[in-house]
Amino acid sequence: MASIELHNLTFHYPDAAAPALTDLTLSVQGGEFVVLSGPSGSGKSTLLRLLKREVSPGGRLSGSILLDERQLEAWPAREAASAVGLVMQHPDNQLVVDTVEHELAFGMENFGFDRSAMRRRMAELAGFFGLEPLMSRRTDELSGGQKQMVNLASVLMLQPRLLLLDEPLAQLDPLAARELLGMIKRLNDEWGMTVLMSEHRIDDILPLADRVLRLDRGRLAFDGPPRQFAQEAWRRQDPAWVEALPAITRWALSHDGSDSIRAAETPPLSVKEARQWMHRRAVQAAPLSPAGPAQSLGTDVAHKPLLRADGLFFAYDKRSPAVMRGLEWTIRQGDRIALFGGNGSGKSTLLQLLAGLLQPQRGEVFVEGAKLRRLPAAARYARIGYLAQNPLLHFAYDTLQEDLLHAARRAASANPAEEVRRMAERFGLQDLLQRHPHDLSGGERQLGALALALVSRPQLLLLDEPTKGIDALAKSRLAGHLLAAHETGATLVVATHDVEFAAAYANRCSLLFQGEIVADDEPDTFFRGNLFYAPPLHRLFHNQTPSPVEQAVLR
């Protein structure tokens, strides 16, 4: 149980003009679960790192940080290192050694624990985290969710009193994220561990948290319980705030009308609460019409097929199981497809096959009737753009400008420099052109990679999880650019876990399962039949629509 107190904390990075944190005064009680929210660059990571002395950034600091009523600087090195645990965003980069067992032991080795103490803690925590079956596995064979679970467990081996989490869920798929979040909640509930967690996507976390802190350009903009946060966000009507709310809450608040928000009436934060809220207020489910232009292009079958996959069969090697098993799929001109599928279901592989980056063992991909593999490579890559999950993969030069220039020359643009300028302007990247791609934020990298892919004006753009790890505002900006690209004639396929993003921007949803497309429908029809791959609003109204049994009877 550790409490934190900050008094007038101000922090300047060495070269920065404006302070990263300004005059923060707040306190966190022992055993609280506190969520730190705020857009990218608002100082969330800086604050968390200042609380963890070993990784504190260099710079000018004024004010004081008290951990358990003791100045943080006054703590002895070893105690400080073990009292505060930190889990960061990227699951891969936090793993130090090769096997799970050794990774878990790493922290204890650093503290010179003797062997029996190590084994005992290992036994206890491995059991608690359900990591026993993974103990002898190599860490690079694990899934992202498992890696992050190992990271969390290995930090807890030192029995910290305060757990800091810097966007631990950003790189995980929703299922793994929920599992990790459940574990964090358990630590908080059962061990009374103080948790301070920053996250972009706070809709899942809001119902679990005791308190929300909102930072805005380094200043404390809100400090209070989640429900109050929801009301405050709604009162402000600032998109940056409203986007952070769960869709359910937004729906309930908008249903309420702005006049009737009273302090006593608490907005629902989960589907369960929303059901009760509807019941209390006798609200009838409105017919579902999700916001966005979802239906505008819906059922236009006149569009001719652009890309057709015919009996695709693909395996990475002879011994491993096939990823694609006779997949049939048609992408029509003007589609905006959201491609769903579980982790490891082969979404990325499918996109790479469609882009012609991988060759299927059997089957063929046709572009407007012509065999994709017969097209010359340059033409193929110009017509079909592909954006990998990690945007960093797309950069190869020292500045964004050079990268764009290279792409423009390759696209045989008449005036490459002019083209780069136009692209930068279109994506709002003018100020970043001289930066190294690695110095950009996640959202900026994503936009940069998108710009690179769009230079050749592809007919078809395949995107692999473009919304991963970026905040709500960056997401809506990205969606805007995608829609703009669509308007100028690009067909889009987006592999994603983000059902709300899909519901708002796709006009077709497909589900990949066991190497085949098993569902392919308009969003509304698609979501109606689903419980898991459905936005919360659809889940809320699920029992208002005919159940599968009723549907079967109706037939």
Could you tell me the smallest distance in angstroms from the CB atom of residue 126 to other proteins? 13
By CB under 8 A, name the one of 16, 370, 378, 412 that touches other proteins.
378
- Residue 381 touching other proteins (CB under 8 A): yes
Which CB, 48 or 494, lies closer to other proteins?
48
Q: CB–CB of 410/458 below 8 Å?
A: no
* Separation between Cα atoms, residue 411 and residue 419, nearest integer Å: 10
**Residues whose CB is less than 8 angstroms from the CB of residue 130 and which lie 6 or more positions away in sequence, other chains included:** none
- Please state, in angstroms and rounded to a whole number, the distance separating the CA atoms of residues 268 and 276: 9
Would you count residue 386 as binding other proteins (CB under 8 A)?
A: yes
Minimum distance, C-beta of residue 106 to other proteins, in the bound complex (Å) = 6
Q: How many CA atoms lie within 13 A of 221 on its CB side?
A: 19
Residue 118 lies near other proteins (rule: CB under 8 A): yes
Nearest CB to other proteins, comparing residues 19 and 458: 458
Residue 190, helix vs strand vs coil: helix
* Sole residue written with tokens 């809450």: 249
Give the span between the Cα atoms of 108 and 272, in whole angstroms. 42
The CA-based dihedral angle spanning residues 140, 146, 152, 157, taken in that order and rounded to the nearest 10 degrees: -70
Among 50, 196, 306, 355, binds other proteins (CB under 8 A): 355
The stretch among 25-33, 81-89, 271-279, 281-289 that binds other proteins (CB under 8 A) is 81-89
- 13 scored as a contact of other proteins (CB under 8 A): no
Give the C-alpha distances (Å, rounded to integers) separating 446 from 247, 400, 433.
24, 12, 14
Tell me: does residue 4 bind other proteins (CB under 8 A).
no
> Is residue 107 part of the contact set for other proteins (CB under 8 A)?
yes
CA 539, distance to chain mean position in Å, is 21
Of residues 9, 24, 47, 81, which one binds other proteins by CB under 8 A?
81
Alpha helices (H) along 435-522: 442-454, 472-487, 499-505
Residue 194 interacts with other proteins (CB under 8 A): yes or no: no
**Eight-class DSSP state of 210:** S
* Measured distance CA(500)–CA(331) in Å, rounded: 22
Angle ∠(250,255,258) on CA atoms, nearest 5: 85
- Write down the least CB distance from residue 425 to other proteins, Å: 22
Residues 22-61 that bind other proteins (CB under 8 A): 52, 54-55
Binder among 2, 47, 105, 495 for other proteins (CB under 8 A): 105
Give whichever of 45 and 510 is closer to other proteins, judged by the CB atom: 45
Q: Which of 4, 21, 65, 88 binds other proteins (CB under 8 A)?
A: 88
Q: What CA–CA distances, in Å, run from 17 to 20, 438, 444? A: 9, 21, 21
How near is the Cβ of 331 to other proteins at its closest, in Å? 18
Residue 140 touching other proteins (CB under 8 A): yes
62, 111, 132, 175: which one binds other proteins (CB under 8 A): 111
Name the nearest CA neighbour of 532 among 341, 275, 286, 278. Answer: 341
Give the residue from 343, 442, 406, 409 showing the smallest Cα distance to 144: 343
Judged by beta carbon, residue 92 or residue 328, the one nearer other proteins is: 92
Query: According to CB under 8 A, which residues from 451 to 480 bind other proteins?
Result: 452
Measure the CA–CA gap between 528 and 289, rounded to whole angstroms.
12
User: Given candidates 16, 62, 109, 238, which one binds other proteins under the rule CB under 8 A?
Assistant: 109
Q: In the complex, what is the shortest distance from the CB of residue 108 to other proteins, in angstroms, rounded to a whole number?
A: 7
Distance separating alpha carbons of residues 403 and 384, to the nearest angstrom: 19
The residue from 37, 154, 401, 446 that contacts other proteins (CB under 8 A) is: 154
Region near other proteins per CB under 8 A, out of 97-105, 303-311, 414-422, 540-548: 97-105
Smallest gap, in angstroms, from Cβ of residue 116 to other proteins? 9
176 binds other proteins per the rule CB under 8 A: no
For residue 221 the two structure tokens come to 């903009």
The only residue of 222, 241, 395, 427 in contact with other proteins, by rule CB under 8 A: 395
Instruction: Compute and round to an integer the Cα radius of gyration of the chain.
Output: 25
Q: Which is nearer to other proteins, 77 or 302 (CB)?
A: 77
Number of residues that bind other proteins (CB under 8 A): 62
The DSSP secondary-structure symbol of 485 reads H
Q: By CB under 8 A, tell whether 149 contacts other proteins.
A: no
Angstrom distance (rounded) from CA 241 to CA 230? 9
- Among 1, 379, 393, 412, the residue binding other proteins under the rule CB under 8 A is 393
Distance of CA 551 to the CA centre of its chain: 35
Residue choice 16, 96, 175, 286 for contact with other proteins (CB under 8 A): 96
Q: Within 483-512, which residues bind other proteins (CB under 8 A)? A: none
Asked if 90 interacts with other proteins (CB under 8 A), we say yes
Taking a C-beta distance cutoff of 8 angstroms, is the pair 528, 515 a contact?
A: no
Binding to other proteins (CB under 8 A): which residues in 294-323?
none
103 or 471: whose CB is closer to other proteins? 103
Q: How far is the CB of 351 from other proteins (least distance, A)?
A: 11
Between CA 406 and CA 487 the distance in angstroms is 25
Q: What spatial distance separates the first Cα and last Cα of the chain, rounded to whole Å?
A: 59
Amino acid at residue number 187: L
Q: Which residues bind other proteins (CB under 8 A)?
A: 52, 54-55, 77-78, 81-82, 85-86, 88, 90, 92-99, 101-102, 105-115, 118-119, 138-140, 151, 154-155, 158, 352, 355, 357-358, 377-378, 381, 386, 388, 390, 392-397, 406-407, 410, 438, 452
